Chains A and B, each alone.
Chain A
Amino acid sequence: MLDTEALMRIGLGHYIALSGIIFSFGMIAVMMRKNVIVMLMGVELMLNAVNLSFVAFAKEAGNLNGHIMVFFVMTIAAAEAGVGLALAVAIYKKFHEVNIRFFEQLKG
């Protein structure tokens, strides 16, 4: 007999699971997608998954550290996005496409 109540009660475990799923999606996006912008989005997704888990843990622990961390992460994610996009623009200017395959010169 399924304990529907337990399923309905959304707790820390669910948040962590969700954050894990989102984090994995982000990782997969970074590893699979050829478009640089989408890869950036993957990174952002990973960071947001982390944010989710931070908030969940902060709620659980009852202190502010987690929330503070989230703010820092958001700021840094913004900065990263800025740098990343700048790089993407640089790529676009040179190759007129933002595909990762242009960046396979350095190897071996």
Chain B
Amino acid sequence: MLLTTLIFLPVVFALVVAALPEEKWVRPVSFVLSLGHFAATCLLFWRFNPASSALQLVEKHAWVPTFGVNYFVGIDGISFWLVILSAFLTPLAVLGSWTAIEKKVRAFHICLFLLLSATMGTFLAVDAILFYAFFEASLIPMYLMIGVWGGSRRLYATMKFFIYTMAGSLFMLLAIIALIFMTQEQMGQMSASVLDFYNLDVPFVAGDFLNTQTLLFFAFSLAFAIKVPMFPVHTWLPDAHVEAPTPGSVILAAVMLKMGTYGFMRFVLPIFPEASEYFAWFFMLLGVVGIVYGALVAMVQPDIKKLVAYSSVSHMGYVMLGLFAMNLYGTTGGYYQMLNHGISTGALFLLVGMIYERTHTRQISEYGGLAKAAPIYTIAFLIVTFSSIAVPLTNGFIGEFLILLGTFEANRWFAGVAVLGVILGAVYMLWAVKRIFFGPRGKALGHYEEESLDINGREIAVLIPLVILIFWMGLFPSDFLNWSKASLDNLVQNRTHYELKLEE
């Protein structure tokens, strides 16, 4: 029942928030409730057995038995940290949006809780249709978040976001349907369970594009690639991020993008092993292009949030590169990078939001000399920056190093190009840092007194957990990876005949 509780508890919370008599209670109550949800999620540390690669804490109830669709949830080492990450970031998002969200506070927190529920469901669903349902359902709260609480071009951004994502995922729906019928042919009865998909023998013909496995592979890949987002289907992301309110950006970057990469790990790689292998070069190429391209474009962005958004493209390119290196280093690194990106980019968006609340501009050119005006903020920003550009002993380094190592093993030329991302990452982040924090006082700082722009206690409280995690994950990666090790090993070593057992 734990997993079901984790998925639907936020829905209950949303109702609680909706029923609160006074709006001024919404924020504190939401914060406490989301903390409660995080605490409940932490129960997983006791209930989850990290030594096993099997699917654990399974719950299965018939939903649409005619099509073999079940309410089937379970957790393994791959979903484990993503679930924790989602639950961890929500209280921070609530705390971080304390003053950022001024109108329709109640509705905003309802959206936040529904989004949490949908993301939890996405990461925990083992049934393809259930996964699809949560995957799609998560769009709606985010759509509203951007559209209602967003910036000036919010309508454009939110429509673009929704249509892009929807366009990819509908083809995935067709592919899921095809797989369901394949289970019927090969196993005698229909099943939408991913576990049964793993056992399918999806016919593959190398060299011929129009064969079953390749088509299904690309149908799934398109959906997830848009979500990741990979070059060249990334253009919804900068717009969505720029227009989204701070907590929306945080959740979008930290959690929702992971749905794409998680989809690759859960669906694409194990269900279509031959096609994945055959087209690995293509995805590595896109990953590499994404890394360099994202970095170059981030470099010349005039808007801080857009810069961070493009840096996401670059970072997620690393993740894809690692996953499609298809070896232990790459996969582990890619997985770790997913978490890192969640922490550091989430933190960056929070930070950008904090300063935006004070100066009401995100134009880099209007800043300058912020380090004097907001020293603590500067320290936090620098730490997160170093995490983002993968300085050793921060979390980012572990992920990037392992990814590059794995890529080098798989294809040294891609690794050679991907390494450029290490350089360019430093370039765009530090250049931005230089222009924002150093030099003479910028226009945006206007009449503010020295240090009066600095962040307050609440904001420090938001950032401290993230900063701690940055170093914790950088110093003791094993504390985190040990929980996923068995599953990742299983994914890499048994890729061609992948199987997830159910924990007895």
Do A and B share a direct contact in the complex (Cβ within 8 angstroms)? no
Interface residues of B (CB under 8 A from A): none
